[in-house]
Amino acid sequence: MAEVPIVFPTKFIFFAFSDAIPTVQCAIEDGSLHLFTPNDHEFGLSESVIVNESTSTNVSKERRRVDEIFALVGKEGKGIELLEPPKVVILTELFPHQKEGLGWLVHRENSQDLPLFWKEKNGAFLKVLRNHLTNDRLEPLKGGIFGDDMGLGKTLTLLSLIASNKLVSSVSYTLVDDVGTSRARKHKSGNKRVVSSRKKHKIDVDDYNGGFLDRKYKVSSPKTTLVVCPSLVLTTWIAQLEQHTRPGSLQVYLYHAEHKKEVDLLLSHDIVLTAYKTLALEFSSSHSPLKEIEWLRVILD
């Protein structure tokens, strides 16, 4: 006895972009199926109208949610205070946009604000992107991308940021200053270098190989900023230090891979300058001072 096929009434709900509707309609008709559209009176009697209303409601909700998310973008950095660099270190007057940039950098390093797309709600913390709620407060995100256009004095602003760490006990914010380091000259005892006068001169990177500080200090907390840049830009940093900072106010060390210096020696300086190629050479090394040190901050130029 042949089996009698069982027929179940089945409804399919199709979603398509507006320009694809004619193609979808033709495909359905070619399959001998009956198509109800929102314009048919039968559509109002089917479950499809519920899906349609639900979809419209969800789209509206998602649209409002996306608007709320993008409303958060742009609030970051609003109301940032314009900060002055410490005059005992920085000799150059900053432009208003540099003071604002300095304020933003300080804010990024010290702010306890929640990360972007998170907000506090009824004692808990809500991730707006995923509508995720947690009772654990997230650690604030530090650092950022300082992306002023070329020629607007980013190096000076960063030096102002560094300089503030020299006066952390007397100021309420942290700055890195565009310190004008003076030419290094040989010490009487031999190859050791110390800071000399601020006279104009041709900058020789090799003069900075030995660093500016001979003594070793016990460092209880990180105070040293690592600056990594292309080799050709090292002279720019040195020139900016020469031009904008008070002689002897910042201790600077130029680090080369061939000079395996002790960690304590590097930490006794305010700034350690090195090139990307030097960092690349030491990245795979099991013993590298650059990797062992807990830097106060790292600047990638």
Question: pLDDT tens digit string along 104-138?
Answer: 888 888 877 777 777 777 778 877 767 777 877 87
Tell whether 139 is covered by a domain. no
pLDDT at 225 over 50: yes
Residue 157, pLDDT > 80, answer yes
Closest Cα to residue 119, out of 107, 129, 111, 109?
129
> Are residue 153 and residue 44 in the same domain, yes or no?
no
Do 29 and 105 fall within a single domain? no
Which of left, alpha, beta for 123 (phi over 0: left; psi -120 to 50: alpha)?
Answer: left
Same domain membership, residue 272 and residue 170? yes
The verdict on 56 and 107 lying in the same domain is no
* Any domain includes 6: no
Structural domain that includes position 212: 96-112+146-300
In this structure, of 71-85, 95-109, 182-196, the range with the lowest mean pLDDT score is 182-196
Same-domain pairing of 104 and 29: no
> Residue 285's pLDDT is what?
78
Q: How many domains does the chain have?
A: 2
What pLDDT sits at residue 212? 34
Lowest mean pLDDT of 63-67, 95-99, 155-159, name the range: 63-67
How far apart CA 115 and CA 135 sit, in angstroms, is 15
Of residues 263 and 55, more confidently modeled: 263
